[in-house]
Amino acid sequence: MAGPVLHTPVCALLGIDVPIFAAPMGPAITSPELASAVSNAGGLGLISFGGCPPDMLRALIQRMRELTTRPFGINMILEFPADALVDLCLEEKVPVLSFFWGDPSRFVERAHRAGAKVIDQVGSVDAAKRSAGAGVDVIIAQGVEAGGHIAGNVSTMVLAPRVVDAISPTPVIASGGIADARGLVAALALGAQGVVLGTRFLATPEANAHPMYKKKVLESTEEDTVRTTMFGYGWPNAAHRTLRTAFVDEWLSNEARGSEQRPDEPVIGETTFGGKRLTMRRFMGFPPGADATGAIESMPLLAGQSAGLVNEIKPAAEIVRELVESARRIIDDQLRGYTEPRP
């Protein structure tokens, strides 16, 4: 990659140039266009896949290969069946398998034999130890300020160094609350070797999020998200962070209702899932895609506290470039100045 360098050991491990990961925002918010833009800019694009026939995964991998020759990863949520998907990824020589919400230990040996690296996103020191102990190559420590589903209770500022201390020398990547170079440098200072950005990459032309959803992210401050289990239709009792819309405010005192998965919840619109139109019922956990219709603001507008730092829509490659350039300025100029002797 031409351009400024920001290299940590995890870059060599994964074959990337800069330690910036695009979060796998499911089911389809991180599009192949977004993930490949980040991979092409020298980072690592991760794409979430689940709940669809394996043939669709094959097509998705092919699409990624059309868009990039750089490493990328497929993310699977272990709340849902993943064995067949893992087999297919390995058969297709996907460079990186990324897991969330469960124990990926059983996949590690198979993945390594096939030449793939394994990443697991965790929300606690215990889960990090479990996965690192099983040979997972890279652990993502996800703080509670993160957008989307959140695995733990601890902020990134505390969790990242705790995980680093617990599993060193396994590389740790920080996730949650990071949207600019200040967060990136802070994460490196905490001992992380890189960062995952979700909410920041949601506000890109490449993200497959509904325009209204992107607009709401831009308008929101760090105060405007909430951790809830409300959108539990399809994935009950699983905490997630979402924008605090009028709909969320209305139901927050009765958030358990969403996990009851009542088949007669009213239809609020449609979105595309797995190439088909999906009828969205109230409390369903699918964030609205670019072509969603209906009551968009009653759907889960998943986003993290870092929404407060996200004020404009920018191409993903530009975000990666700015992150690296500004991080270098902070490290080389600003921080160095603090340790220079006083005259």
Site string for ligand FMN, 108-137 (x = CB under 6 A): -------------x----------------
The least distance separating ligand FMN from the CB of residue 177, rounded to whole angstroms, comes to 5
User: Which segment (4-12, 17-25, 131-139, 253-261) binds ligand FMN by CB under 6 A?
Assistant: 17-25
DSSP assignment string, 112-128? HHTT-EEEEEESSHHHH
Helix 316-329 vs helix 181-189: angle between axes, to the nearest 10 degrees?
Answer: 60
Site string for ligand FMN, 160-179 (x = CB under 6 A): ---------------xxxx-
302 touches ligand FMN (CB under 6 A): yes
Asked if residue 113 lies in contact with residue 91, where contact means CB atoms within 8 angstroms, the answer is no
- Interacting residues with ligand FMN between 226 and 285 (CB under 6 A): none
Query: Total residues contacting ligand FMN (rule CB under 6 A)?
Result: 29
Cross-sheet strand order for the sheet of 276-281: 276-281, 267-273, 293-294
Pairing of strands 72-77, 44-48: parallel
Q: Which two tokens stand for residue 178?
A: 């990071």
Rank residues 106 and 336 by Cβ distance to ligand FMN and give the closer one: 106
CA 86: distance to chain centroid?
19
29 touches ligand FMN (CB under 6 A): yes
What backbone torsions phi and psi does residue 306 show, to the nearest 5 degrees?
Answer: -65, -5
* CB-nearest residue to ligand FMN: 198
Rank residues 221 and 334 by Cβ distance to ligand FMN and give the closer one: 221
CB neighbours of residue 70 within 10 Å: 20
Q: Which residues pair with 45 in a beta bridge?
A: 22, 72
Find the binder of ligand FMN among 25, 60, 164, 323 (CB under 6 A): 25
287 touches ligand FMN (CB under 6 A): yes
100 touches ligand FMN (CB under 6 A): yes
Site string for ligand FMN, 44-73 (x = CB under 6 A): ----x-------------------------
Quick one: residue 156, left, alpha or beta (phi over 0 = left, psi -120 to 50 = alpha)? alpha
Asked if residue 121 lies in contact with residue 98, where contact means CB atoms within 8 angstroms, the answer is yes
Rank residues 291 and 332 by Cβ distance to ligand FMN and give the closer one: 291
Find the binder of ligand FMN among 20, 160, 188, 197 (CB under 6 A): 197
Distance CA 20, CA 17 (A): 9
Q: Which residues bind ligand FMN (CB under 6 A)?
A: 23-26, 29, 48, 75, 77, 100, 121, 142, 146-149, 175-178, 196-199, 202, 287, 302-304, 306
